[in-house]
Amino acid sequence: MENLNFRYYLKIEFSEPVKNHRFTVKCIPQSDERQFIEEKSIQIFPNESLCEGNDSFGNCCIFGNADLPHQLFEVEVSGHAKVGLASYTKARPNYQISIFRYQTEYTKPGNQLNQFFSEIDFDRCDTNLEKSKKIMQNVYKKFSYKKSITNISTTAEQALELGQGVCQDYSHIMIALCRMANIPARYVVGMLVGEGLSHAWVEIEDNGYWYGLDPTNMLIVNDHHIKISHGRDYKDCTINQGLFIGNAVQQQTISVRVDRT
């Protein structure tokens, strides 16, 4: 178990004033079997009208609007977490598990994924967790980490063909392969010990429990990881979504820091 302080900061600067800004922010960690959020502070500017709720996957969201003209939008979520309390989280009812068996536009397999899947040896892998670990090992061996090769729209099939990418690509490739093996798998966004950006990994379902696997680092999710949200793929976990009136150009800055205490 680790005690961690965390801070997630998002800033959007607009080149000219915008108004009637409607937004949904999804960067707020919640307590579960694996982590306990002891303290939490949420600061949003402008904050004319805010309310807290959950999306269809149970992720914590802040819904808000800023009608007055503004050129700056800021979100800061900070707090203290105990992590590594368990190696799993309990799955919700079966009908909610089943949606994570189906491929999405990000994970739909083509020739590259089909060929890769056919090369994976599942001998002596009897459980979903054992099969998923085997998939993770193969993804880690075949794929290389490199920034600026892919973007947020790159699919698992496209990334695998390139052979390089970032944590989003590792996760989409692994999710695609798990679903091909009939293993429910979902995309996770969270934070890692250190300083930088948010991180993505995978959770797979086995016998009523979700287990976290980090294919970018080839490890079981441990007490270095703070989970923020999960969904079918990257799109379900987008940190900030919204619309506004105005013709402004946006410049976004994200900063994430997690420290041991």
Instruction: Indicate the pairing of strand 89-90 with strand 209-214.
Output: antiparallel
**Model pLDDT for residues 123-135, shown as the tens digit of each residue:** 999 999 999 999 9
Q: What is the mean pLDDT of the chain?
A: 95
CATH topology of domain 89-237: C8orf32 fold (3.10.620)
Mean pLDDT of 150-159: 97
- Residue 96: is its pLDDT beyond 70? yes
pLDDT (mean) for 19-23: 96
Q: Hey, what amino acid is at 100?
A: F
Q: Which of 21, 4, 11, 23 is nearest to 238 (CA)?
A: 23
Residues of the chain with CATH 3.10.620.30: 89-237
What lies within 8 Å, CB to CB, of 17 at 6+ separation is: 69, 70, 71, 246, 248
**CATH number among 3.90.550.10, 3.40.50.150, 2.40.37.10, 2.60.40.2250, domain 2-84+239-260:** 2.60.40.2250
Q: Judging by DSSP bridges, how do beta strands 219-220 and 209-214 pair with one another?
A: antiparallel
pTM exceeding the 0.85 threshold for the entire prediction = yes
- The answer, yes or no, to whether residue 35 has pLDDT greater than 90, is yes
Residue 138 three-state SS? helix
Angle made by CA atoms 235, 241, 243, in degrees to the nearest 5: 135
pLDDT at 175: 99
pLDDT tens for 202-248 read 999 999 999 999 999 999 998 999 999 999 999 999 999 999 999 99
Per-residue tokens: 210:
């979700």
Question: Residue 253's pLDDT band (boundaries 50, 70, 90)?
Answer: very high
CA distance 238 to 24: 9
For residue 141, what pLDDT is reported?
A: 97
Banded model confidence at residue 195, pLDDT cuts 50, 70, 90: confident
Taking a C-beta distance cutoff of 8 angstroms, is the pair 226, 177 a contact? no
Report long-range pairs for 36-40 (Cβ below 8 Å, ≥24 apart). 36/81, 36/82, 36/83, 36/85, 37/79, 37/80, 37/81, 38/79, 38/80, 38/81, 38/82, 39/79, 39/80, 40/77, 40/78, 40/79
Any idea which residue has 């944590």 for tokens? 167
Q: What is the pLDDT of residue 19?
A: 96
**Orientation angle between helical segments 167-180 and 128-142, nearest 10 degrees:** 140
CB atoms near residue 149 (< 10 Å): 15
Residue intervals of the chain classified under CATH 2.60.40.2250 are 2-84+239-260
Of residues 111, 203, 200, the one with CA closest to residue 152:
200
Q: What is the pLDDT of residue 95?
A: 64
Burial zone of 225 (CB within 10 Å; 0-12 exposed, 13-18 middle, 19+ buried): buried
